[in-house]
Amino acid sequence: MDVPGTSTGVRPQGFSNPILINKQRQQGNPMLKFIRNVPYEMTVIKPDFVCGSSCCVLYLALKYHKQHQNYIETRFQDGSGYETKILLILVNIDEPTALLKDMNLYCLRAGWILILCYSEEEAAEYLENLKLSEKKKPEEVINSREQFKEKQRMIQQGRQDFKNKETQLYEAAIKVVSSIRAVTVTDAKILLGEFGSLKNLAMAEKEQLESCPGLGPIKADNVFNFFRTQMRK
């Protein structure tokens, strides 16, 4: 059975070689299903991944490292002969700080570049980017990926801020409407739901207000008069 994404399929234009993957160690790794934009090939190599003639990658999940802390030191020698050596760590434990400090020291001593990812999909994206940019320096690839993540974070934050502002405006509108005599918070929510905005509610006719569920002629009259009473100076 063919492995999805291997070189047995059609290769995207511009690729002379696929990502090479350590067949013995990485076969069955669920992260591989997220490698979609570049071809890969399961083969016999020492590192976990080879993303170019001079770039190799070791892949380590912190959950595994926590239970087998001597493992990764025995693997650093598998990067011999490669100019760029990357340790790609999947952060999948709740309190990673102490372990990451140790890993940073290991990498500094051994001459490896440390990259952190927080999902299998993100790990796959790093491998793809390393392959897509194999002629660039790894620092440029990492910085480009980090800039993209920051841009996505800012977009998400902007959406959240907008959502928070909408919530605040809606709550303020409910407060205004429920301040009308005999109108409850539930009535206010029904009215705003029916008319869509405070402006539309203020322009509604009595007949339209009376047709709202649970309002009745008295409350409708109060709402109608509220928006047509001049404010005292």
Average pLDDT over residues 144-152: 59
H or E element in which residue 43 lies? strand 40-43
Q: Which residues contact 27 (CB under 8 A, 6 or more apart)?
A: 42
Decide: residue 20, CB within 10 A, 0-12 exposed, 13-18 middle, 19+ buried.
buried
Give the pLDDT score at 67.
93
Average pLDDT over residues 183-188: 90
Dihedral (CA of 35, 40, 41, 45) sign:
negative
> What are 7-26's pLDDT values in tens digits?
433 344 555 589 999 999 99
Average pLDDT over residues 101-111: 88
For residues 59 and 158, give the distance between their C-alpha atoms in angstroms, rounded to a whole number. 33
In the CATH hierarchy, which fold is given to the domain comprising 19-135? Rossmann fold (3.40.50)
Average pLDDT over residues 19-47: 93
Domain 154-226, second-level architecture: Orthogonal Bundle (1.10)
The β-bridge partners of 117 are 90
Give the pLDDT score at 197.
87
Are 19-135 and 154-226 in the same CATH fold?
Answer: no
Average pLDDT over residues 111-125: 91
In this predicted model, which residue has the larger pLDDT, 218 or 230? 218
Residue among 93, 27, 46 at smallest CA distance from 65:
93
Given a cut of 70, is residue 144 above it in pLDDT? Answer: no
Given a cut of 90, is residue 162 above it in pLDDT? Answer: no
Average pLDDT over residues 147-151: 60
Given a cut of 80, is residue 148 above it in pLDDT? Answer: no
Domain spans in the chain, listed from the N-terminal domain onward: 19-135, 154-226
Give the pLDDT score at 140.
64
Average pLDDT over residues 224-230: 82
Give 170's pLDDT tier (boundaries 50, 70, 90). Answer: confident
Given a cut of 50, is residue 50 above it in pLDDT? Answer: yes
